[in-house]
Amino acid sequence: MGGENCMLARNLWADNTGRNPSIGWNGVFNFINNVVFNWHHRSTDGGDYTSLYNIINNYYKPGPVTEKEDPVGHRILKPESGRSKLPYKVFGRAYVHGNIMYGNDRVTKDNWDGGVQMEGIDGNLMSL
């Protein structure tokens, strides 16, 4: 769900295993003032190297099916670069701020400290 130049605001996203926002391609993606609860595979992901993400003031609360010990358990955004035809990893630009991750003070204080997770060439998460 999501795509070119869209805004998803003031929604409740609950009990999803794969239907939370997955950005399809370039353009501006705004995800503002939402509540995301009990996700399994994704909170928000996708896009490409031309994407512009604004992930602002959302509330994330892991639930019973959220794998809390796995990185997805405190993930706000996982931008992707797999659609790029370039020989190296290039991600879109993201503004990620003001999001609350229930039970994770570190990510709540700085959303980029574990909440934004990028995948490396080897498929493992990269550190910022």
Q: Where are the domains of the chain?
A: 6-121
* Phi, psi values for residue 73, rounded to 5°: -70, -20
* Phi, psi values for residue 93, rounded to 5°: -95, 135
Rg of the chain's alpha carbons, rounded to an integer?
13
Per-residue pLDDT at 122 exceeds 70:
no
* Phi, psi values for residue 72, rounded to 5°: -65, -20
DSSP class of residue 60?
E
Percent above pLDDT 90 for the chain: 62
For 64-99, what is each residue's pLDDT tens digit? 999 999 999 999 999 988 777 788 888 889 999 999
Per-residue pLDDT at 1 exceeds 70:
no
Element housing 12 (H / E): strand 12-14
Greatest mean pLDDT among 23-32, 63-72, 86-95, 118-127: 63-72
Q: What is the mean pLDDT of the chain?
A: 90
pTM, entire model: 0.91
Q: What is the pLDDT of residue 48?
A: 86
